Amino acid sequence: MPITHPNLHLTQLAGAIPAWLGEIKPDDLQPICQNVRDGGGRLVALWGSDTREQGKGYTLHIALVNETGLICLSVPLPAGQPGYPDVSQIFPVANRMQRAAYDLLGIYAHEGHDHRKWLRHGAWHGGSFPLRKDFDAVLSRTNEPDAYPFVQVEGQGVHEIAVGPVHAGIIEPGHFRFSVVGEKTLRLEERFGYAHKGIEKRFESLTVQHAAKLAGRVSGDSTVAYAWAYAMAAESIAAVTPPDRAVWLRALFLERERIANHLGDLGYLGNDVALSFGFAQFWILKEQVLRNNAALFGHRYLMDKIIPGGVAADLVESGAQSGKQTLFKECAMLEHEVRLLRGIYEEHAGVQDRFIGAGRIEPKLAARLGLCGLAGRASSQSWDARVQFPCAPYDKLDVQMATYRNGDVAARVIVRFDELFESLRLQREILANLIHDDGLAIPLAKLPAHGFGVGMVEGWRGEVLVAIHTDADGNLTRVHPHDPSWQNWPVLEHAVIGNIVPDFPLINKSFNLSYSGQDL
Amino acid sequence: MMTTDQRLGILFQLYQSLLVVLLAPLLTGWVNQCRAWLQNRTGPGLMQPYRTLRKLFHKDAVMAYNASPLFRVTPYILFGCMWLAAAIIPIIAVDLPFSPAADVIALVGVFALARVFIALAAMDIGTAFGTLGARREMLVSFLAEPALLMVFFTASLISHSTQLPRIVEALAHHQFVLYPSLAFAGLAFVIVLLAENARIPVDNPGTHLELTMIHEAMILEYSARHLALVEWASSLKLFAYIAIGIALFVPYGIAEVGNWGALPQAIIALLVKLTLAGAALALLEALLAKMRIFRAPEFLGTAFLLAVLGLLIHFLLGA
């Protein structure tokens, strides 16, 4: 058992990662969360579902993680007044998730200190909730002005700089409200949700196979991670184990996604300090990876290549177009080039002057705020789902986690370099182990009724979680994808405090969080 | 009645002014092309700035609804100032009719006038970025201007005049002498050139990160013909600065007025020097990263120090 509590009865879920499910009463929520927190655990995701058709009112779901695995708790709430005890005091990261859960479903946290809207930008009425089953999209449509009370900072010489949601460059929409004195940042407040796409509502009307495509489109730069997490959740409900060849290929795709994104980010980080040379070099390498993806697997970003039950693309091994040979060659080329470029970055005084000390997050603060993924590892938060909960084939790979203490931009750059080399090593090992010939996929026709499955994959940005609920007919009734950016965006607000305004883009890029991924 | 010399002078002046205004975007294009080559990119070609200007002149201008006439006239003032500056500098010939109108101190004044207007225009529309950019621009320029003046003074001490034509004449058309003081002034001038023209490492002309911008932040609200004029003025400014650098440090080849025979040679010399200077600028930019804004005072302080050292050396060595 991952945790013990008198009122908690956990049942282990089938599937690739260690996960437990339990139902608790609202009153037990805070003590159990505190218990997990005290044991060094974190909150991964918080979402709600409309279970009135099953006679249960609403249900709050919470996914916690500690060193033994994933603990999924569901908390039935009364249909009349669906309130639950606030957990943002225990896990600060829950704040935005609780507010989003209210905007989408109307369930709310008692005694929460922040009840401002989060996802609702005036596109639907305040009294209607899109994820309720009786939501009427036409009647709820509105165009009310989007008023949002930002926190005001007062004092002599303090002024605000409002940036976005439309930016000077072509990037995703997000609003940043800086309170500054001169060039020094006193406070940053973020506002997102401009790219709310209603993904979770759309999932409700899709079949298991179609929903896999949607899952792969939640966040384009993490399409492999989302597709795998979704497939893992579906396979967990159906208690299906994909073929060996499929899981090795999945790991290959995931590592290639990590390689491509880390290369792109390292280029961007050079660009943000005006070292366009680094930008161009890293992007030439990234393009090479993407082109090899397209040539070998049929899609530059490997979209739709992971399906529930297996994979939809194979690596051709024989003949002149041996995919293995191409990838081995690519590995050697990348290792050589990236080593050279790393030397240039590390020896460039101007670059290091900008990187070192910028946007520092101390390990203590990172732990308190639940910083995860790549940014977390740069602040010595050693969480990596590939290491702690190695699903097949990572259990045979011995992934080396890259952690660093400093928590500044330089540390996040170092972690990226280290992970890049580790991914290249893993890619070689995966290629060497890709020997099974037991098919690519086991068809997954229909899911069992009233099932719950969860999948968690360490994407390049951090852990991506997808949870699936099925109804009495085995159809999808609720799918909740969760992006690690939920955890890390609030930490960025802390990272920029005390830094100068022109350093913000660099600090932001060193986190490189998703603006729209799963409707932030 | 005008003398032949005066008539020739006006002809030379017209010729130079036209040449400068037409060549300036080409220089920007050349610098960008060199930068692209140095980064392993193909680059957009030398003509890209002209295409951009053409595109911008064909667009409809959009104005902030609270923009005052100041905002509207600033691009024209900016363009006029830069063109005037380029007309004063002996680029292909000395002793142009415009040259005596202003010496180097007035030249610095012309640049300052343009800067005051663009900073005011940036604050006029009241966006956070405009003010941010204006504030940073003032920080950079108030440190760069004294350094630039010191550079000019070093050259003036050698030639005993603050008139650019006299300086060029003293340096180019007399016996060839190496001046150690000018070497220091030259280094200082390069730093000032980078800072004043919004180049790396002080600013980044190619950035889209609005929070890091200096020059670009001030012109974010301009569009169409206004933006075209501002961009063109930036090209002219870069051209003018490089021309000043040539006039002060490598003036060899600039024609004397009335000497038609020296004109083709002067133009070829100018093109060669501009090509080299553009390539050198691109190389410098490829090698450097942008510094934190609060490093700029140190950087420009170095320029000032170097220029003062140049002056001192002149007094100590008489060279």
| More confident of the two residues B265 and A188 | A188
Residue B218 token pair: 């001030």
Contact: A276, B39; criterion CB under 8 Å: yes
Q: Is A185 on the interface with B (CB under 8 A)?
A: no
pLDDT of residue A387: 92
Q: Does the pLDDT of residue A459 top 60, yes or no? A: yes
Nearest CB among B129, B208, B286 relative to A169 is that of B208
Taking residue A39's Cβ as centre, other Cβ atoms within 10 Å add up to 13
Contact: A350, B293; criterion CB under 8 Å: no
Contact: B210, A167; criterion CB under 8 Å: yes
pLDDT of residue A420: 95
The predicted model scores a pTM of: 0.92
pLDDT of residue A324: 87
Please report how many Cα atoms fall inside a 13 Å half-sphere around the Cα of residue A359, on the Cβ side: 27
Contact: B209, A272; criterion CB under 8 Å: yes
pLDDT averaged over chain A? 91
The helix (H) or strand (E) run that includes residue B173 is none
pLDDT of residue A61: 95
Q: How confident is the model at residue A315 (pLDDT cuts 50, 70, 90)?
A: confident
Share of chain A above pLDDT 70, in %: 98
CATH code for the part of the protein at A1-149: 3.30.460.80
What residue spans define the domains of chain A? 1-149
What average pLDDT does this structure show over A140-157? 86
Q: Is A281 on the interface with B (CB under 8 A)?
A: yes
Ramachandran region, residue A402 (left: φ > 0; alpha: ψ -120 to 50; beta: rest): beta
What Rg value do the Cα atoms of chain B yield, rounded?
Answer: 19
Q: Across-strand partners of A72?
A: A21, A63
Residue A9 token pair: 């009865």
| More confident of the two residues B252 and B57 | B57
pLDDT of residue A97: 93
d(CA A307, CA A285): 28
Contact: B208, A502; criterion CB under 8 Å: no
pLDDT of residue B258: 61
CA A241 to chain centroid, in Å, comes to 24
d(CA A268, CA A114): 35
Burial of B240 (0-12, 13-18, 19+ CB in 10 A): buried
Q: Is A184 on the interface with B (CB under 8 A)?
A: no
Of all residues in chain A, the one with the smallest CA distance to B39 is A277
pLDDT in tens, A82-91: 999 999 999 9
d(CA B207, CA A347): 23
Bond before A173 cis per omega within 30 degrees? no
What average pLDDT does this structure show over B147-159? 88
Reported for A33-41, long-range contacts at CB under 8 A and 24+ positions apart, including other chains, are: A33/A62, A33/A64, A33/A87, A33/A90, A33/A91, A34/A90, A35/A3, A35/A5, A36/A3, A36/A64, A36/A66, A36/A71, A37/A90, A37/A91, A39/A3, A39/A66, A40/A66, A40/A67, A41/A3, A41/A65, A41/A66, A41/A67, A41/A71
DSSP B125: T
Q: Is A273 on the interface with B (CB under 8 A)?
A: yes
Please report how many Cα atoms fall inside a 13 Å half-sphere around the Cα of residue A305, on the Cβ side: 28
pLDDT in tens, B177-212: 778 888 899 999 999 999 989 888 888 888 888 888
Of all residues in chain B, the one with the smallest CA distance to A280 is B39
Under a CB-based contact definition with an 8 Å cutoff, are residues B232 and B20 in contact? Answer: no
pLDDT of residue A408: 92
d(CA B49, CA A113): 54
**Chain A residues within 8 A of B210 when measuring between CB atoms:** 163, 167-169
pLDDT of residue B170: 78
For tokens 């060039």, what's the residue? Answer: A183
**Chain A residues within 8 A of B208 when measuring between CB atoms:** 167-170
Q: Does the pLDDT of residue A115 top 90, yes or no? A: no
Contact: A161, B204; criterion CB under 8 Å: no
Residue B194 token pair: 């980078």
Q: Does the pLDDT of residue B255 top 80, yes or no? A: no
Q: Is A348 on the interface with B (CB under 8 A)?
A: yes
State the sign of the Cα–Cα–Cα–Cα dihedral A411, A413, A418, A422: positive
Q: Which 3 state secondary structure label does DSSP give A386? A: helix
The helix (H) or strand (E) run that includes residue A108 is strand A108-110
Contact: A354, B291; criterion CB under 8 Å: yes
pLDDT averaged over chain B? 87
Of all residues in chain A, the one with the smallest CA distance to B219 is A168
What Rg value do the Cα atoms of chain A yield, rounded?
Answer: 23
Exposure pattern of B33-71 as b/e (b: 16+ CB <10 Å)? bbbbebbebeeeeeebbbebbeebeeeeeeeeeebeeeb
Under a CB-based contact definition with an 8 Å cutoff, are residues A500 and B293 in contact? Answer: yes
pLDDT of residue A394: 92
pLDDT of residue A86: 92
Share of chain A above pLDDT 90, in %: 68
Residue A292 token pair: 């090899």
Of all residues in chain B, the one with the smallest CA distance to A503 is B212
pLDDT in tens, A254-263: 999 999 999 9
Q: Which 3 state secondary structure label does DSSP give A56? A: coil
pLDDT in tens, A11-61: 999 888 999 999 999 999 999 999 999 999 999 999 999 998 888 899 999
Residue from A273, A344, A499 to probe the interface with B (highest B Cβ count within 10 Å):
A273
**Tell me, what amino acid is at A41?**
G
pLDDT of residue B173: 66
Q: Is A162 on the interface with B (CB under 8 A)?
A: yes
Contact: A274, B128; criterion CB under 8 Å: no
What residue spans define the domains of chain B? 4-317
Nearest CB among A162, A168, A504 relative to B128 is that of A162
The helix (H) or strand (E) run that includes residue A499 is none
pLDDT in tens, A276-308: 889 999 999 999 999 999 999 999 999 999 999
pLDDT of residue A136: 87
What average pLDDT does this structure show over B5-34? 86
Residue A186 token pair: 């006193």
Task: Of B228, B216, B238, give the one whose Cα is nearest residue B23.
Answer: B238
Share of chain B above pLDDT 90, in %: 39
Q: Is A344 on the interface with B (CB under 8 A)?
A: no
**Chain A residues within 8 A of B211 when measuring between CB atoms:** 161, 163, 501-502, 504-505
Q: Provide the number of CB pairs (under 8 Å) joining chain A to chain B.
A: 83
Q: Does the pLDDT of residue A317 top 80, yes or no? A: no
d(CA A216, CA A374): 21
Bridge-based pairing state of the strands A19-23 and A69-77? parallel
Of A145-154, A499-508, B68-77, B116-125, give the lowest mean pLDDT range. Answer: A145-154
d(CA A500, CA A272): 14
For tokens 């994407």, what's the residue? Answer: A459
**Chain A residues within 8 A of B128 when measuring between CB atoms:** 159-163
pLDDT in tens, B96-124: 777 777 788 888 999 999 999 999 999 99
Q: Does the pLDDT of residue B92 top 80, yes or no? A: no
* Cα distances (Å, whole numbers) of residue A439 to A68, A245, A294, A309, A442: 32, 7, 22, 11, 8
Q: How confident is the model at residue A166 (pLDDT cuts 50, 70, 90)?
A: confident
Exposure pattern of A156-173 as b/e (b: 16+ CB <10 Å)? eeeeebebbbebbeeebe
Question: What does the H/E/C string look like for A337-372?
Answer: HHHHHHHHHHHCHHHHHHHCCCCCCCHHHHHHHCCC
Of all residues in chain B, the one with the smallest CA distance to A352 is B289
What average pLDDT does this structure show over A221-241? 93
pLDDT in tens, A378-417: 999 999 999 999 988 999 999 999 999 999 999 999 999 9
φ/ψ (deg, to 5) at A124: -135, 160
Ramachandran region, residue B43 (left: φ > 0; alpha: ψ -120 to 50; beta: rest): left
Residue A289 token pair: 């990876």
pLDDT of residue B19: 86
Q: How confident is the model at residue A5 (pLDDT cuts 50, 70, 90)?
A: confident
| More confident of the two residues A122 and B304 | B304
Nearest CB among A160, A168, A280 relative to B41 is that of A280
d(CA A372, CA A465): 13
Taking the CA of residue B209 and the nearest CA in chain A, the distance in Å comes to 6
Of all residues in chain A, the one with the smallest CA distance to B216 is A168
* A 353-382 → B contacts, CB under 8 A: 353-354
Q: Does the pLDDT of residue B176 top 70, yes or no? A: no
Q: Does the pLDDT of residue B88 top 90, yes or no? A: no
Residue B70 token pair: 């100041």
Residue from A272, A275, A347 to probe the interface with B (highest B Cβ count within 10 Å):
A275
